[in-house]
Structures are given as C-alpha cells and as structure tokens.
Amino acid sequence: MPGEFDLIARYFAPATAQRDDVVLGIGDDCALLSVPAGKQLAVSMDTLVCGRHFTEDADPRALGHKALAVNLSDLAAMGAQPAWVTLSLTLPSADEPWLAAFIEGFAALAAQYGVQLVGGDTTRGPLAIGVQIHGFVEPGQVLTRSGAKPGDLLYVSGTLGDAGLALLAAQGWYVRDGALPFLRERLDRPLPRLALGQRALGVASAAIDLSDGLASDLQHICAASGVAAQVQLAELPLSAAVSDYVRETGDWSVALGSGDDYELLLCVPAALQGDFEQSVAGMDVPLTCIGWLEAGSGVRAIHPNGETEEVSGGYDHFKN
C-alpha cells in the first residue's frame, strides 16, 4: 500500500517520541531495540475491529488515541513504564485524511508518554487496528492479578460506567443536560492511569485495568489470587450522569458490568492503607475504596439496603 506507507513513513514515525534505546526504527525488516540493563520487558497487545469495538463513522483521531490508550492501560495495570509500540493497520481503502487524523490522535498520546512507534504492518481489508505495546519493569517490581490476599482493600480510580452510559446515550437513552460530551470523551478518549500504576508499586498487592467492567475484571483478580470480593455499591464512584441513571432505573449494571472505562482496580493490604494513600496523594486521579477481599471465591455486591447479590459470572444482562 504505497500511499499509506508513505504517509506512515512521512508523518507517523517522526510524530511519536524519538528514543535513545531505539537502535533501528521503522524502515528495515525489523526494529532493533535495547532493553535497559537489569530491566524486564512487559508486552501486551489489543485489537480494535470495526463493527465490534467501534463504528464505521468513528472519529479517526479518537480511534488513534484509543487504540494506543487501551494498550497503555495494560502497562499501567502492571506498573510498567511504556517505551515502544508496533501497529498493525488493516485498511479498506487509501483514505489519506482518515489516516492523517488517525496518526495525529495516536502520535499525540505516544509523544505524551515518550512512546516511539518502531514498526508495524499495513494491509488492505476490513478496518482493524492491532497495537502491541512494550514497556519496562524492574524484576519483581510489578503488579499482577495474582498477588491479592483476604483482608485487602479494593480501590478504583476515577468513575465507573461513563463509557457504558455513553453507549446507552448513543442508543437514545436520555442523559442530563451537558453530560453527553463528558460521557463521549470518557468512551472515546480514555486516559491510561500510568502514573497511578507506578505509584502503587510496592504498596498494592494486585491490580487490573477495567476494560470489561468491574464485576468481570474483579472476578479475574479473585480467580487469579484465590480470594472472594465484597463490593459496596453505595461506595462506587459515579459521575452525576451515571448516578442519575442508577437512581432512575434502580439498575447498577452500568456501573458494575459495562466496560471501556480503563480505570485501575487496586488491591491494598489493610496494613498499607496509610502508605498507599500517602503515595497517591496529590495525584490528579480520584481514588475510592469500594470494598474488600475475603477468603473464598466469587464477587458479591452489597446493595445500599444491605442485600447482597452474587455477580461473579459477570454482570451480563447489560451487555448486548
């Protein structure tokens, strides 16, 4: 795809960060990269497919941002430091303005986090975007899903359910005046919580990023760590619009079961609660304690009236 390839070489590579540890970037058969001595590589990939993860009319600038953001969010969940990224683009046609806008969104976020695009692949076909991210960790200094223990406290960053409510609003659900741009922004331009993940190193026992929704992502922690979770619904951090939704419908599924928020869920040993709150103090990210872990298995929600509900299977009736 000569047209697209020229664009990538001309605009894309220079627009992302330029790093000293990239010996050879885009242009040869492979990139050559130097992992700093003593560090380990953290690698993850996520694919966005048109019709499944976004619609055909999606803003290409937002797509470029989101394709990278969801990958950076995986690094954030491990407390890793982002470094390099590769990009697999499958494009239906040579649409220069589309590609230029996509690049702009992608490269702006890459530059913000010092990430360099070092290679990729470009093919013709139904629109799909695959991104592989590479970051660094100190050996043993990492947040996994499996380190949580009974007694740990559960914290989440930001607010829950905004991206899910944005999708409902797109299907016609009425949201309060002025809320739509905020919800759209939360769905289209998630902010990877990289600084938070790094600050939580050494204090949090486990972490995961919320891509599928609190109920199912928390269940991943419970399964990997061999613990049970109790979530107090009254404590869930909700934006005004999601609060309205829960009050009007009595349905918590938008907060518990909808994905795409890309907030972090952190498990913190109760004895380290003070240390944790100190290490995240002054950050621009609201953190809320929403529950705790116990011996056992499964995720239980405690309703404001005290009733409990098993939600381990995922809170699926929301999903369509």
User: Which residues of the chain form contacts with ligand ADP (CB under 6 A)?
Assistant: 8, 26-29, 87, 89, 117, 119-122
Binding status of residue 284 toward Mg ion by CB under 5 A: no
Task: Give least dist CB 28 to ligand ADP, A.
Answer: 5
Task: Give least dist CB 235 to ligand ADP, A.
Answer: 43
Taking contact as CB under 5 A, which single stretch among the options 21-29, 110-118, 119-127, 255-263 is the one that binds Mg ion? 21-29
Contacted entry of Mg ion, ligand ADP, none for residue 210, CB cut-off 5 to 8 Å set by kind: none
Q: How many CB atoms lie within 10 A of CB 148?
A: 27
Applying CB under 5 A, which of residues 2, 20, 29, 307 lies at the interface with Mg ion?
29
What is d(CA 254, CA 158) in angstroms, rounded to the nearest whole number? 15
| CB of 31 or CB of 311, closer to Mg ion | 31
Contacted entry of Mg ion, ligand ADP, none for residue 85, CB cut-off 5 to 8 Å set by kind: none
What is d(CA 124, CA 313) in angstroms, rounded to the nearest whole number? 38
Task: Give least dist CB 27 to ligand ADP, A.
Answer: 5
Contact 266, 208 (CB under 8 A): no
The binding track of 154-193 with respect to Mg ion, each residue x by CB under 5 A or -, is ----------------------------------------
Contacted entry of Mg ion, ligand ADP, none for residue 190, CB cut-off 5 to 8 Å set by kind: none
Residue linked to tokens 């996509």: 102
| CB of 29 or CB of 177, closer to ligand ADP | 29
Give 3-state DSSP helix, strand, coil % of the chain, rounded to 5.
35, 25, 35
Angle among Cα 239, 243, 244 to the nearest 5 degrees reads 120
Can you read off the two tokens belonging to residue 143? 């947040």
Task: Give least dist CB 222 to ligand ADP, A.
Answer: 38
| CB of 27 or CB of 172, closer to ligand ADP | 27
Contact 88, 49 (CB under 8 A): no
Cα-to-chain-centroid distance, residue 308? 28
DSSP class of residue 4 equals: H
Task: Give least dist CB 1 to Mg ion, A.
Answer: 15
Contact 58, 157 (CB under 8 A): no
Binding status of residue 28 toward Mg ion by CB under 5 A: no
CA-nearest of 305, 315, 318, 302 to 154 is 302
Contacts with Mg ion, residue ranges (CB under 5 A): 29
